[in-house]
Structure 1
Amino acid sequence: MTLRLLSIALAGLAAGAVVANAPPAPAPTTDARGIVRLLDAQGFAAIHELERRYGLWTAEGTTPNGRPVYLLVDGARLVVDVVGEAGQGGLTIEELRRLLTAAGYRDLREFEFDEGLWEVEAINRAGVRVELLVHAVSGRVVSETPYGRPPANAGFLTAYEVGARLVSLGYTYVRVIKFDDGKWEVEARHPAGHRVEIYVDARSGAILREWREDGPGAGGPFLTAAEVTARLAALGYTQINPLKIDDGKWEVLARHPRGHRVELYVDARTGVILHEERD
Structure 2
Amino acid sequence: MRLPAWLAQHLAALRALVALTIVLGLAYPLLMVAVARIPGLSGHADGSLIDRDGQPVGSALIGQSFVDNQGNPLKQYFQPRPSAAGDGYDPKSTSAGNLGPENVVDTLPDPNVQDDEGKQRLLTLVCSRSKAVGELEGIDGSRPYCTPGGVGAVLAVYPDHAVSLNEACPAEPFIQQFQGRPVACAKPGEDYSGGVITPVRGNAPGNPAVPADAVTASGSGLDPHISVAYANLQIKRVAAARNRSEADVRKLVEEHTEGRTLGFIGEPAVNVLELNLALDRS
For Structure 1 versus Structure 2, the TM-score category normalised by the shorter chain is: under 0.3
Q: Which has the higher contact order (CA 8 A, sep 6+)?
A: 2
State the TM-score, normalizing by the size of structure 2.
Answer: 0.25
More helix by share: 2
